[in-house]
Homo-oligomer: A and B are copies of this chain.
């Protein structure tokens, strides 16, 4: 991207802004830019120097979010193992992207249809894993892929906020999440 022309110093500042923006705007997408600047520990002037308009900043954190989610999807190796195992791995990996979860899930306005498509067929691979799960008996055939996608996201978001609000160990919360998800998708006995 444009980062190519950034010196080391500018790259660090840019990253600090992006991280702060994901954290602050994840909690409230209409938070004033001054809050983002404060969180990033930079002046409002500097923020405007890197991202002239609010929409530029939004575009940037959108790109960053998609990037992190893509990498997480990659790491989950959705094509391996049973369908249920693949979904649990995906859950584990997505849990690691942290603040991005709030951004993508709670602000439903954030990622448009187009953004999701551009986020490169993760949806397809997800659907394929669910299909496989339906066939190999590890995923309840009554639950369609679109529903499970919904469940997974809400579960993740709930887990993340539970961890941050209750101040519980993330590792512990992740175990609870996997346990809950596994039970939710398993076929009826």
Contact = CB atoms under 8 A, between A and B. Distances in A.
Contacts of A188: 183
Interface string A156-181: 01110110011000000000100111
Contacts of A37: none
A interface, size bucket: 20 to 34
> How many copies altogether?
2
A58 interface: no
A69 to B, nearest CB: 18
Classify the interface of chain A: helix, strand, loop or mixed: helix
A34 interface: no
A180 B151 contact: yes
A181 B189 CA distance: 15
A147 B169 CA distance: 13
A184 B180 contact: yes
Interface stretch (A5-13, A115-123, A125-133, A138-146): A138-146
Interface of A: 27-28, 30, 106, 108-109, 140, 142-143, 146-147, 150-151, 153-155, 157-159, 161-162, 165-166, 176, 179-181, 183-186, 188-189
17 contacts: A28-B109, A106-B106, A106-B108, A143-B176, A143-B179, A147-B176, A150-B158, A150-B161, A151-B155, A151-B180, A154-B155, A154-B157, A154-B158, A155-B155, A183-B183, A183-B188, A189-B189
